[in-house]
Structure 1
Amino acid sequence: MNKLIIAVLVVFAFGAIGSTGSEIPLGKQIKVLQINAWHAATAVPNGFNGLLGIIEQTDADIVLLSETKNHDNNVINKLVDTLQLLGKTYYAETSDGSAGLISKYPIESANTCCASAAQGSMAKAYIPVGGQKLVVYSAHLDYKHYECYLPRGYSGVSWKKIASPVDNADSILEANRLSERDESISAFLKDAKVEIEKGNLVLLGGDFNEPSHLDWQADTKDLRDHNGLVINWDCSVMLSQMGMVDSYRQKFPDAVKYPGFTFPSANNAVAVDKLTWAPEADERDRIDFIYYYPNSAWSLINVSIVGPEETVVRGKVKKKDSEDSFIVPNDVWPSDHKGNLATFMIE
């Protein structure tokens, strides 16, 4: 989770680096990698090489990045330039916000979308595909009021222990709504509805800083310090009601066997106290997502969690205790989050 105030006055620069590309062809599988770069890949020693390595390892066609900024440095520019030196052409959307993307296929146009400086950051780009457009939204939502910590006995504002866990779902949701995440998702839904009505393909991915309601139902209420609660977290409910599909839960609907935790991730290159914000709790959650809107022009083939198999529980590294499928990095892992890799078939 980014603890910095995010500026979202955005000036776009497009990198059409190398030879001229083409639109995504029909009958093509495309791989979408979503990853939190953790302060522009500066928080982990040799983190930039790790970020570069996982892009090469997954051979992702589109990479959705959050926490792209560290002061005045934007990791996206460096990624595109370095990949070009390695003979790999990517087109980039770069911004002064904390979310962006790179693509093997040309970006036709892009703009900011759906978020203010308080809300976080969301970038929107158009990629031509088979006579249509793939409209990609890369998000890094408001980190404040991270209230999935309340039932675990921690504040989602100060990240300090509170007198006792909060055991009322309504009061937790009321506190959660003090964030700007729901406003940002509301704006996204309004914007995406226009694109869907045009027949365009719609993809949304990023660090939401909020769990999914699909992971906080009766089957998990007595697990992971949920404190007996069923909580219908707003952002995922709103997306589901609009028809957006959570790619991981589509393939792995059982949240007990396949929790798909993305935060906090173990990272053997970083001291564990830098990875945990609730060191006496089981704070594990799935807060990083890839959503898509169903359309006959594409289908979801596969999805995996990307990152180390280990997690962090009560301030200690814990070995894998789920049936989740992982793409384990060959190099240093650059983040305190895990990511997602979704593969789609363009029909």
Structure 2
Amino acid sequence: MAFLPLCIGDSYSVTSQNGIRLMTFNIWQSGKNVEHGQQKIAKHILLVNPDIVALQEVYANVTRNLTLMLGHPWVAVERNHEYPDTAILTRHVIVPNTNLSTTGGVGAKIMLRTGYMVHFWSLHLDYTSYGPYAANNKLVDRLDQIMAGENVAASGRGPQIYEILNLPMMKKWMEKSDDVPIFIAGDFNGPSHLDWTEQTKKIHGDWVVRWPATKELEENGLTDTFREIYPNVLTNPGITWSTVNKFNPEWNYTIPEPQDRIDFLFYRGPVVPYQIVTYSGCEKPQRIPFHEKNDYPSDHFAVFADYSFM
């Protein structure tokens, strides 16, 4: 399958020698839901042309296939598990013996060919007890009912972030973040506390929610790239869920699926973001159940961002 751009003339500014482009990409069960899904995943990575990609919903052997399709010098590291689920792809150098793995994702130290060093995480937090479902359920009348799914011991999204931040090696990375930036990217399976505010509660079931995963990162000095560049939630919601899930199939597509921003790029350290894009290719994806021939292979929008090193 040829990797040809679908929108000739459409382009995004290219990073400079002192810059980096990062992408987070939930690949929807490794592309199995659209025709030629893995080839389309590789194609869209090449179109965006990132330095590093955080992948989610990765099946066994898929990163091997993708690196072969992407070609030299692309390499990968996966979460240490029978079903990897999260992985990192890069066209730079993964420093040996620096990989970190948790229930929520995989981290690595990467040396760019321009000489810069970064610490990078790909996360896929727990998908169960999805908060916006509870928030939009008219039987829910207390905030603690919504939060119950976020803070399930060990497996909840809040505890998963806490686990990452408290890894001994991650603490060392944090201590060195004035010199080596840290990036945490991925599908959080939950919204941002910056988006569910008094200003926006009318579009979120009339709730203001301090979603713990994003709040915990903020309290540890990490910045939400999208909301830094686009602080107005109403004019720039940045929705990443979903490209194709517009109505919930469990009710025969009669009940709207909550649309929200659940895929993130966080950073801490000596970089400045100057562009961030939610991405679904050049052809509008057809919603479920008309999705099989979509050119874009995911049910999430990907997100990519450009940063300059200071």
Contact 2:186 2:264 survives alignment (8 Å): yes
Contact 2:87 2:122 survives alignment (8 Å): yes
2:87 aligned residue (90, 100, 109)? 100
Instruction: Give the counterpart letter for 2:255 in structure 1.
Output: E
Q: TM-score, normalised by structure 1?
A: 0.73
Distance in 2 (CA, whole Å) between partners of 1:51 and 1:287 is 20
Question: Which residue of the partner structure matches residue 83 of structure 1?
Answer: 70
Distance in 2 (CA, whole Å) between partners of 1:173 and 1:94 is 30
Could you tell me how far 1:230 is from its partner in structure 2? 0.4
Could you tell me how far 1:277 is from its partner in structure 2? 9.9
For residue 171 of structure 1, give the secondary structure of its aligned residue in structure 2. helix
Q: How does 1:159-178 map to 2 (within 5 A)?
A: 164-178=138-152
Unaligned runs of 5+ in 1: 1-24, 154-163, 318-330
Could you tell me how far 1:262 is from its partner in structure 2? 0.8
Instruction: Give the counterpart letter for 1:258 in structure 2.
Output: N
For residue 121 of structure 2, give the secondary structure of its aligned residue in structure 1. strand
Say whether residues 1:305 and 2:268 are aligned partners. Answer: no
2:264 aligned residue (289, 304, 309)? 289
Could you tell me how far 1:208 is from its partner in structure 2? 0.8
For residue 93 of structure 2, give the secondary structure of its aligned residue in structure 1. coil
2:100 aligned residue (104, 109, 112)? 112
Distance in 2 (CA, whole Å) between partners of 1:293 and 1:277 is 43
Say whether residues 1:205 and 2:195 are aligned partners. Answer: no
Indicate how the Cα distance of structure 1 residues 103 and 276 shifts in structure 2: closer, same or farther if over 3 A, else same: farther
Could you tell me how far 1:206 is from its partner in structure 2? 0.6
Contact 1:264 1:311 survives alignment (8 Å): no
For residue 134 of structure 1, give the secondary structure of its aligned residue in structure 2. strand
Instruction: Give the counterpart letter for 2:146 in structure 1.
Output: I
Instruction: Give the counterpart letter for 1:168 in structure 2.
Output: R
2:208 aligned residue (230, 234, 247)? 230
For residue 297 of structure 2, give the secondary structure of its aligned residue in structure 1. coil
Question: Which residue of the partner structure matches residue 333 of structure 1?
Answer: 296
Distance in 2 (CA, whole Å) between partners of 1:100 and 1:258 is 29
Distance in 1 (CA, whole Å) between partners of 2:159 and 2:252 is 25
Percent sequence identity over aligned pairs: 27
Q: Cα RMSD (Å) of the superposition?
A: 2.9
Contact 1:32 1:61 survives alignment (8 Å): yes
Residues 135-144 or 88-97, more deviating: 88-97
Distance in 1 (CA, whole Å) between partners of 2:116 and 2:252 is 43
Question: Which residue of the partner structure matches residue 166 of structure 2?
Answer: 190
Question: Which residue of the partner structure matches residue 327 of structure 1?
Answer: none
Distance in 1 (CA, whole Å) between partners of 2:252 and 2:187 is 16
- 1:119-140 CA-to-partner distances (Å, cap 9, x unmatched) read xx41111112576631111111
Say whether residues 1:31 and 2:21 are aligned partners. Answer: yes
For residue 149 of structure 1, give the secondary structure of its aligned residue in structure 2. helix
For residue 176 of structure 1, give the secondary structure of its aligned residue in structure 2. coil
Could you tell me how far 1:193 is from its partner in structure 2? 3.3
- 1:226-265 CA-to-partner distances (Å, cap 9, x unmatched) read 2211011011111111110111101011111111111121
Contact 1:284 1:312 survives alignment (8 Å): no
Could you tell me how far 1:108 is from its partner in structure 2? 0.8
Indicate how the Cα distance of structure 1 residues 341 and 283 shifts in structure 2: closer, same or farther if over 3 A, else same: same
Contact 1:27 1:346 survives alignment (8 Å): no
How many residues align? The count is 281
Indicate how the Cα distance of structure 1 residues 26 and 217 shifts in structure 2: closer, same or farther if over 3 A, else same: same
Distance in 2 (CA, whole Å) between partners of 1:105 and 1:187 is 27
Question: Which residue of the partner structure matches residue 240 of structure 2?
Answer: 262
Instruction: Give the counterpart letter for 2:202 in structure 1.
Output: D
For residue 54 of structure 1, give the secondary structure of its aligned residue in structure 2. helix
Distance in 2 (CA, whole Å) between partners of 1:229 and 1:312 is 30
Question: Which residue of the partner structure matches residue 306 of structure 2?
Answer: 343
For residue 265 of structure 1, give the secondary structure of its aligned residue in structure 2. coil
For residue 258 of structure 1, give the secondary structure of its aligned residue in structure 2. coil
Could you tell me how far 1:175 is from its partner in structure 2? 3.5
Instruction: Give the counterpart letter for 2:279 in structure 1.
Output: V
For residue 99 of structure 2, give the secondary structure of its aligned residue in structure 1. strand
Question: Which residue of the partner structure matches residue 4 of structure 2?
Answer: none
Could you tell me how far 1:145 is from its partner in structure 2? 1.6
Instruction: Give the counterpart letter for 1:214 in structure 2.
Output: L
Question: Which residue of the partner structure matches residue 7 of structure 1?
Answer: none
Distance in 2 (CA, whole Å) between partners of 1:131 and 1:316 is 46
- 1:255-303 CA-to-partner distances (Å, cap 9, x unmatched) read 1111111112138xxx9766999851351111111110032xx211210
Contact 1:167 1:229 survives alignment (8 Å): no
Q: TM-score, normalised by structure 2?
A: 0.81
For residue 144 of structure 1, give the secondary structure of its aligned residue in structure 2. coil
Distance in 2 (CA, whole Å) between partners of 1:312 and 1:173 is 33
Say whether residues 1:145 and 2:129 are aligned partners. Answer: yes
Instruction: Give the counterpart letter for 1:238 in structure 2.
Output: E
